Amino acid sequence: MLRSAVRRLQRTAGESLRARVAGEDAADRARLIWDTAGERWFTPQDPVWRVHADAAMFPGGVAALLLQMLHPMAMAGVAGHSGYRGDPWGRLQRTSTYLAATTFGTTQHALATIGHVRSIHARVRGKDAFDRPYRADDPHLLMWVHIAEVASFLRAYQAYASTPLTAEEADLYVRQAGVPAAHLGVLDPPTDVASLEATVAAYRPELETTTAARDAARFLLVEPPLPAGARVGYWAIAAGGVSLLEPWARELLDLPRSDLLARGLLGPLGRASIGTVRWAMAGVDRGAA
């Protein structure tokens, strides 16, 4: 009886978490992505599949969002067009669907999803906090969004996965993550860890803190749109995400810069939260989607 009750609790927790991340229709979309027959870019043995299916994506996603905020043009696009305050879960669910479709779905489904996102990007225009014009389909801006995600997802997996990638697998992950990115409009995405790190470094002079970035970081880390009872678990995930950022990025966002704090407190909080996420998601059929 106790074992049955625990399984029900596990399934309920997993389904609730999946609905938050992927939407109320997550089970239906998971079946479409996973069960449709057809050629795929990747297999379950590929590093990109393993990374994007792992619970480490939760803190990795937090780190990616925080890092992306540091480019004023990317931040202006998020603030002006994503609806992250009015519909934060909807934005997360759209991102989750994109990653699932382009990683686990058929090639046809992946290309259709990318085409839909490209059509949206074509309409997004504006000016950043310094009155500089931007467009969402600018390959230079797309590159920043891409490398911020890939660097964050990889760091999260290497920090929190039970079996981190080897150096060769990490290079292959970077190369595989570039496949959908190239179709989206990223020109010559990095193909290994060294070129990924070099590209991130090349963007450093363009990165700076804006009022919008500070407000978004506070919304993401301090005032998440969650019931009080769910915030403790979320804050543990967010702590894990903050610990993944380089000290210079934490400093720009007015977050704790100390690596000792990141390794000694924030990282262990993130690791504990991921253990809970893995347990919950094991109770549903398709935790990765």
pLDDT in tens, 156-181: 999 999 899 999 999 999 999 999 99
* Helix and strand element counts for the chain (H, E): 15, 2
DSSP 24: T
| Residue range 112-157, pLDDT digits in tens | 999 999 999 999 999 999 999 999 999 999 999 999 999 999 999 9
Report the candidate in 143, 159, 152, 165 with the shortest Cα–Cα distance to residue 49. 165
pTM of the model: 0.86
Q: Decide: 40 and 90 in contact? Cβ < 8 Å.
A: no
